[in-house]
A and B are shown apart, each in its own frame.
Chain A
C-alpha cells in the first residue's frame, strides 16, 4: 500500500513537472544568430452577383526571409531583416512592439501584435487595442490573445489570437471581417517557431428600392498566412 502511494506520488510529480501553469512569453533573439523563416500566403475569393458565382483561388506564394540579430541595446533587439536582396533594420522590444524602423521611414508598417510584459497564466487572455490611420480617419483594432498551453519538455507555448476591425459600413454596404490565428512560441529560444493565421472578409452590396433592399453583389475574400522557422544558425 505504501509502495503504491509512493508510486502515485512520484507519478504526480513527474507529470506536474512537464506542465507549466504560467510562462513569460518574450522575444530573446540571440546576437550572432541568423533565423530563417518561410512565409506562405494563399488567397481565395468569390463574388456572387444575383445568383451568379465566380471564384478565384490563387496559387500559394512562398517567401523566405532571414533575421540577423546584431545586438540588444536600450531594451530592444537590433535586427537586420533580409528579404528579396533588401535589408531592413528594425528595433524590436522583448514583448514584440516595434521601437524603430529607420530604413522604413515613410513606409506604412502594419499593426503588430505584442505579448503581455508580465507572467502569463495558461488560459488567461489579454486584450490589446491599436489604432490605424487611413485617409485621416482613425480605426481602432482590437486584438485578443490567449495562452493555451506550454510544454515544459519542448518549451513550446501555444498562443491563440483573434482580431476585430470596425470596417466603415452603411445601409447599402454591409461588411464582416475576422482574423484568427495560432502561434507556437519557443519559450526556451525566445522566438516564434510557427504561426498560422486566416483573415476572412465579406462585403454585401445592396440596391435600394422604395421599401425593399435587394442584394446585388457579395464579395468574399479569405487570406491564409503561414510562417515557419526553417533554420537557426550562427553567422
Chain B
C-alpha cells in the first residue's frame, strides 16, 4: 500500500514539474539576462578592486574604504522586477495551458466524491449524504486547488493578474523590457517563445478576451456540466501572434536555441 502511495505521490509531483518544463516560455530569456549580468558583475568587481588600489595615492592617507553604490544598483533592481513579472507570466501561461480547456473542471464535477465517499452508509443512514455532501465537496475542492497550486481569488481573472504584474513597472522600465525582448529576438531569431512573451506583455495593457476562460469554472464551479472543451481564444490568438506551431504550443523544446554553449563561462 505504501509503495502504491509513493508511486502516486511521485507521479503527481513529476507531472507538475514536467508541465512546468513543457510550457516553459521564459527560461531562455532569463538565462540570457542572468548570464549578461554575471559577466558584468565579474568585470565590475575586479575593476573596482583595481581602481581602489589607485584611489589613495599618498602614503600618509589612512586606508579609508568608502561605500560606492553606483547607478548599476538601480538597473539590477529593475531586473529583479522583470524576473518577478516573468515568473508571473510563466505561471499564467502554464495554468492556461494545463487547465484552460476546462476538461479538468468537467472531470471534477463528474467525479462527485461527496456521493461515492459516503455511498456505503446510505443504507444505514440515508440522510448522511445530504448533511455531509456540501462540506465534503467544498473541502475536496479546496484541497484540489491547493494541490494544483491554484488560488481562486488570484487566478479567477488572469487578465487582471497579468495587468497587476505589469503595472508594477514604470513606463521607462516597461520600454526597457520591450527593448530587451527585441534585442533577444534579434540575437536568437529562431526562438518563438520570446514573441509569445512580447504578446503577453502587450496584452496586459488591453481589456480584451479573457485568458484561460476554462479555469474560472474550475476555481468557482457552477452546477451545470458541459462536456465540450472551452476554447481559449485569447491564448490561441497569442500563440498565433508568436507564430508557434503545434509542437511548440504543446511544449516541445528540443529546438530551443541556447544563448551560448557554455552559459556559465563568464570570462
Contact = CB atoms under 8 A, between A and B. Distances in A.
B75 A47 contact: yes
B56 interface: yes
Most A CB contacts (10 A, CB to CB) among B63, B70, B180 go to: B70
B226 to A, nearest CB: 48
Interface in A134-173: 134-135, 139, 141, 143, 161, 163, 165, 167-168, 172-173
Contacts of A192: 58, 60
B52 A110 contact: yes
Given A56-B69, A90-B59, A199-B51, A205 B39 contact: yes
Contacts of B5: none
Interface string B44-86: 1011011111111111111110101111111100000000000
Interface stretch (A9-17, A18-26, A60-68, A116-124): A60-68
B36 A173 contact: no
Contacts of B6: none
Contact of B53 (A58, A111, A201): A111
Contacts of A214: 183, 186
Most A CB contacts (10 A, CB to CB) among B57, B63, B64 go to: B57
A88 B54 CA distance: 20
Given A81-B60, A110-B63, A168 B70 contact: no
Contacts of B46: 134-135, 168
A21 B36 CA distance: 55
Interface in B172-230: 172, 175-176, 179-180, 183, 186-187
B70 to A, nearest CB: 4
Contacts of A49: 75, 176
Contacts of B128: none
A203 B43 contact: yes
A39 B64 contact: yes
A54 B71 contact: yes
Contact of A43 (B59, B68, B187): B68
Contact of A54 (B55, B75, B186): B75
B40 interface: yes
B72 A45 contact: yes
Interface string A201-227: 101010101000010110101010101
Contacts of B50: 132, 134, 139, 165, 167
Interface string A87-105: 0101010001110000010
A109 B39 CA distance: 27
A132 B59 CA distance: 15
Contacts of A126: none
A109 B46 CA distance: 16
Given A41-B66, A207-B36, A56 B175 contact: no
Given A54-B71, A173-B43, A219-B44, A113 B57 contact: yes
19 contacts: A27-B60, A45-B72, A46-B71, A47-B71, A51-B179, A65-B64, A83-B64, A110-B52, A112-B56, A113-B57, A135-B46, A161-B57, A167-B50, A179-B54, A195-B58, A199-B55, A209-B186, A217-B75, A223-B68
Given A113-B58, A173-B40, 7 more contacts: A47-B74, A52-B179, A56-B70, A63-B64, A207-B187, A217-B40, A221-B70
